Amino acid sequence: VAHNFRKNLNTKMTREYLSKNPKELFWLFWLGIPFLIWIYSIGIELNKKTPESGKLNKIIMIGLVAYPIIYVPIGLTLLISGIADMNAILPFHFGAMVCVFILMILTSITIIKFEKAEKLKQSNGIGLFFGIWYFIIGVWYIQPKLNEYIKRIK
């Protein structure tokens, strides 16, 4: 029962993020966490329609999203309280940056695999990666495609 609840909640959350228009996502970017959830949503939802041989490991995706989300409040708390200085938390900061970078790469790969599986016009991998990285501009290019892709999944 708990497994089905989590699965339904996960599906509802990811589909909600992928059905938003670019303007809504642009404003959510300033929060940071919705940006990570958006990237995670792309990976999880499009991963459902890719062939078994090309699927991403869901646990790895969750870990790559969870680490930065957990690091930011803890790191800020340690810095503001004076318990740790930037030198002490710098390795953890780089770890969070690497997680986000890998997440962007995996998301770009997932979009390309989905397009290939659905026999759609394939996007440029570098273009997708930079579109995700420079979210403020890329959301206008990527999100309309994702809205169309989500309709195919339903």
Task: Give the model confidence (pLDDT) of 35-60 as tens digits.
Answer: 888 888 888 888 877 777 777 788 89
**Helices and strands in the chain: count of H runs, count of E runs:** 7, 0
Indicate the average pLDDT of the chain: 80
Give the Cα separation of 57 and 121 in Å (integer): 25
CB 123 within 8 A of CB 116: no
User: Model-level pTM?
Assistant: 0.74
Q: Which long-range contacts (CB under 8 A, 24 or more apart) does 21-25 make?
A: 21/143, 21/147, 22/139, 22/140, 22/143, 22/144, 25/135, 25/139, 25/143
